Amino acid sequence: MALNWMKGALTLGVALIGLAAPAAAQPPARVVVVHGIPGGAVGAPSELPVDVSVNGACALPGFRYKQIVGPLALPAGTISVAVHPANPSRPCGLPAIIGPANITLNANEDAAIIAHLTAAGAPTASKYTVDLSPTVNNKARVHVFHTAAAPAVDVYLGTEFNVFAQTAFLLRQFTNNEKAVVSAPAGPWNLAVTVAGSSAPVIGPAVVRLMENSAYLFFVVGAPGSNTLDVVVKDYNLGMAR
């Protein structure tokens, strides 16, 4: 599977090479692309393979649920992105199920583009800027994104679920398409998600191990009605040169 990710990254880079400006252009954006739609939430096979086109060129054929490509250095500016049902015989040849949508990439920004579900369960795509600056006091930085077909949720990170005194952070009434950025000490933590106001987890508790001087992207994805709620995670070592 890792080889497929590398192939996808290379293909996407080639598809965007035509956007490259002269040498004096602005610094590029650094972007990860995430597949966050479980097939079970839309009545399809769980891996829900799709084809992703960028500016009309087929960039990511056979892109599967939970797959992450990047970060990729992409030229600043506006790109047109569309997601199509997978078609091995003619990649990106079927009508788009998401987009085409124009997405603006800013010079020197770190960003994530994710295919996910709206609160009503419709496929969509969103771009989020992420903070990859150095952390304070060697802590970990956690970005949480509500990209699920679910009502408002509460997100917990603690040594013991629902024990407030042992909670690193608690995000209440977190709604679809909302983002939060919080800091937490390094170490093993229990991550849990509940429907807002409820004490019954719909995700977790699951142990996550946060490393110091690292950043994490936690995407809450799926839909409770199809029992597909889950978390897709991307991590960065902030001590490494970007």
Condensed to tens digits (0 to 9), the pLDDT of residues 221-232 reads 999 989 999 999
> If pLDDT is split at 50, 70 and 90, which confidence band does 200 have?
confident
Find the mean pLDDT for residues 93-122. 95
pLDDT at residue 144 greater than cutoff 80: yes
> If pLDDT is split at 50, 70 and 90, which confidence band does 18 have?
very low
Could you tell me which residues come within 8 angstroms of residue 9 by beta carbon, excluding any fewer than 6 positions away? 69, 70, 72
More confident residue, 45 or 20: 45
More confident residue, 200 or 98: 98
Structural domains in the chain, CATH included, are 1-129 (no CATH), 132-242 (2.60.40.1120)
pLDDT tens figures, 65-99: 999 999 989 889 999 999 999 999 999 999 999 99
Q: Are 113 and 32 in contact (CB under 8 A)?
A: yes
Give me Rg for the CA atoms of the chain. Answer: 18
What pLDDT shows up at residue 49?
Answer: 96
What pLDDT shows up at residue 6?
Answer: 39
**Is-above-0.85 flag for pTM?**
yes
d(CA 55, CA 70): 18
pLDDT at residue 2 greater than cutoff 80: no
Average pLDDT, the chain: 86
What pLDDT shows up at residue 138?
Answer: 81
What pLDDT shows up at residue 93?
Answer: 95
pLDDT tens figures, 167-181: 777 888 999 999 999
Pick from 204, 185, 184: nearest CA to 194:
204
Pick from 38, 29, 240, 220: nearest CA to 134:
240
Phi-psi group of 27: left, alpha or beta (phi > 0 → left; psi -120 to 50 → alpha; rest → beta): beta
State both tokens at 201.
Answer: 């987890």
Edge-first strand listing for the sheet containing 153-158: 167-174, 153-158, 187-195, 201-210
What pLDDT shows up at residue 159?
Answer: 81
Could you tell me which residues come within 8 angstroms of residue 221 by beta carbon, excluding any fewer than 6 positions away? 36, 37, 38, 116, 117, 147, 148, 228, 229, 230, 231, 232
What pLDDT shows up at residue 229?
Answer: 93
What pLDDT shows up at residue 26?
Answer: 84
What pLDDT shows up at residue 231?
Answer: 94
Per DSSP, which regions of the chain are E strands? 29-35, 50-54, 57-63, 68-74, 77-85, 98-105, 110-117, 123-129, 140-146, 153-158, 167-174, 179-184, 187-195, 201-210, 214-221, 230-237
Burial class (CB in 10 A: 0-12, 13-18, 19+), 142: buried
d(CA 91, CA 125): 19
pLDDT at residue 163 greater than cutoff 50: yes
